[in-house]
Structure 1
Amino acid sequence: MRTTHAHPIAAALAGLALLATLSGCAGSTAARSDAAAGGPAAPVPAAAGAAAADEKAASTSEGTAYAAPGASERQLARTAKLTLVIPDPAKAAKELRGVAEGLGGYLLNENVVTEQKDGYYVEPSTVTVAVPGTKLDDALDALSKIGEVRNRNVGSVDVTTDMVDLEARIASLRASIARVQGLMDKAGTITEIAQVEKELTSRQSELESMLSKQKALAGRVAMAPVTVTLRPPSVVIQDPNPLWQGLTAGWAGLLQSLRMLLTIAGALLPFVVLGVLIWLPIRVWRRRRRPNAPGLLASVLAPATVDAEDVPAAKPLDAPRDRPTTVDG
């Protein structure tokens, strides 16, 4: 019993692995690989083929939930950018949200700057909304009425090929999962069951990844993001007065000089305090060490005293002689 089932199950799993690799190229190639894998290596019973067909039909009906396109339809992922000049960004942002919600959309991102300087907003504001792709033109017309339009840009990316490819790969992978589930009934040993479960888990993970990509692409087609930049009115710049400009520059220079002086004083203050703390103890110590120094210094500097007896008497000065007077005759 063990020898009878080991070889067909292993061969069937190898054929399914090759089939999963080839099914990514195209749906028709995957169908031919399925037929080849079910031939000489491991014949697939009719019940498994019927289950695969039922699974494929079910996958087609489930794929309609994401609006999977046909080969003749064009699927466009559209985006738009709009620049408006408005006096009040908060009020304009509220109106933008109202327009988007009225068309069946919603708010994605909002950055409203209300800070002002000299009566003007310092930075522009941005609001991003999502609207249905089929109503993008109507949304742009309605948004343009909120302010003065300065720029309007609309772009689109064709994702038809990606969506059709994903649809074909998902259908083929679901059919492959159905065949692996059919092999589970034929597995008779623990080794065979483990191999089949490993292949089944791998295919289910790949299927979930593809379904996520398909849903993301469908969302890009269904909803179009619109980024609106809200700018304040332009400021008229006048030529500055030379006198006022000179006074402003001089005042700024004076303040800068004062700041520099204060900075230097602040930097030197710790060193001054440290020097005073070191100098005061030294001064006190020197005074205590030489208490008689001031008296000695005074005695040295005092003028010498001499007794009166030792000083010789001064000689009297000769009286001036009288000069003869002459009288003119």
Structure 2
Amino acid sequence: MKRAMSLLLAAALCAGLLVGCGASSGGTAAAMPNSTVVEEGSLDFATGEAADAGLSGTEADRLSPNDGRKIIYNASLEMETEEFDATRDKLLKAASDADAWVQGSDEGGSAENGSRWVRYTFRVPSESYADFLNDASAAGSVTYKSETTEDITADYVDLEARLESLRTQEARLLELAGQAGDLADLLAIEEQLAQVRYEIESYTGQQRVYDSLLAYSTVDVSLDEVRVLTPVSNNFGSRAVTAFKESWHNFANGVQDVAIGVIYLLPVLLVLAVIVLVVLVLLRAARRRRPQKPIQPPPAPPAQVPGTGTAGEKPAPKYGPEK
């Protein structure tokens, strides 16, 4: 009886291994999922030949190029705006309309300097992916856009086949455990059953991750506040307009900086003015208290002798004949 049970257990394990190998042979050739990156525009779907690589004939027949494929969509947007609050509200409204949710966010900058920024990671339902991307792009000025598609059809089919094989092994081992009459055989079956169940849990967790990535697309949005938008075209006219706007903004910022500097120095200037005023008042009071010297009259002119000129001078000789 013990030998027969051992043979049955070995046969069940061999059958399970054969089923698992047969199921995985179609997917191992396409172990790496097809990934497509598209920048600045159109979304490039994987072609039927590329996506069917590694699939067996039966699996390829029941999966058409545009139906039933397991494709993960991701996108990245970099945007600028002169109206930060309004553009951010538009982004959040687009997410709400698409039933999306914010997986992560980060923001910073200064409103006074016009340098605010925010980074969002949106999880968007796959059926609303295209609409959300259009609405988000229309919220501001897009400077960079990237879209990626990852076809995991082969991996997903291989994962389902492995799970099916493991569940078949689990059912067979449970049946053998019910027929085991020896404790050693029962312990051996329980050990194999624990290993099979562990693999089932592992593959089931991976399947849940795939299902989440397939159900919700990931869209990263970067929004920066600027004073002058980066021109889409690079001709002379747009460059000249941009240069004038930047020069004007720099001049206005310079005037504001000077005014702010004066405001910062105003308390110091007021204190210095009070000190100077007090010093002047004290100096004037000191001058008033100082005794003044008496004013001496100017010396009197010397007295003149009659018939003479200035005192001490001889009279002028008289000319002419004496009488």
- TM superposition shift of 1:148: 1.2
- Residues 103 and 191 from structure 1, CA distance in 2 versus in 1: closer, same or farther, beyond 3 angstroms? same
Asked whether the equivalents of residues 23 and 29 of structure 1 are also in contact (C-alpha less than 8 Å), the reply is no
Q: What residue ranges of structure 2 are gaps of 5+ in the alignment? A: 27-61, 229-244, 255-323
Specify the alignment match of 2:302 in structure 1. Answer: none
- TM superposition shift of 1:101: 2.5
C-alpha distance in 2, partners of 1:101/1:24?
44
- TM superposition shift of 1:238: 5.0
Structure exhibiting the larger radius of gyration computed from Cα positions: 1
Specify the alignment match of 2:77 in structure 1. Answer: 82
Q: Confirm or deny that 1:179 pairs with 2:172.
A: yes
Provide the secondary structure at the position in 2 that maps to 1:121. Answer: coil
Identity in percent: 24
Asked whether the equivalents of residues 97 and 106 of structure 1 are also in contact (C-alpha less than 8 Å), the reply is no
C-alpha distance in 2, partners of 1:190/1:97?
63
1:203-214 equivalences under 5 Å are: 203-214=196-207
Q: Confirm or deny that 1:119 pairs with 2:107.
A: no
- TM superposition shift of 1:121: 1.1
Higher helix share: 1
Of 81, 91, 95, the residue aligned with 1:96 is: 91
- 2:79 alignment partner AA: L
Specify the alignment match of 1:107 in structure 2. Answer: 102
C-alpha distance in 2, partners of 1:27/1:11?
24
Q: What residue ranges of structure 1 are gaps of 5+ in the alignment? A: 31-69, 245-329
C-alpha distance in 1, partners of 2:128/2:195?
40
Provide the secondary structure at the position in 1 that maps to 2:99. Answer: coil
Aligned residues: 199
Provide the secondary structure at the position in 2 that maps to 1:212. Answer: helix
- 1:127 alignment partner AA: Y
- TM superposition shift of 1:202: 1.0
Of 157, 163, 168, the residue aligned with 1:164 is: 157
Structure 1-normalised TM-score? 0.54
C-alpha distance in 1, partners of 2:224/2:109?
12
Specify the alignment match of 1:22 in structure 2. Answer: 18
Provide the secondary structure at the position in 2 that maps to 1:162. Answer: helix
Cα RMSD after superposing both structures: 3.0
Specify the alignment match of 1:128 in structure 2. Answer: 121
Asked whether the equivalents of residues 85 and 149 of structure 1 are also in contact (C-alpha less than 8 Å), the reply is yes
Structure 2-normalised TM-score? 0.55
Provide the secondary structure at the position in 2 that maps to 1:227. Answer: strand
Specify the alignment match of 1:266 in structure 2. Answer: none
C-alpha distance in 2, partners of 1:29/1:96?
45
Runs of 4+ in 1 over 4 A off after TM superposition: 88-91, 234-241
Asked whether the equivalents of residues 75 and 218 of structure 2 are also in contact (C-alpha less than 8 Å), the reply is yes
- TM superposition shift of 1:198: 1.0
- TM superposition shift of 1:208: 1.1
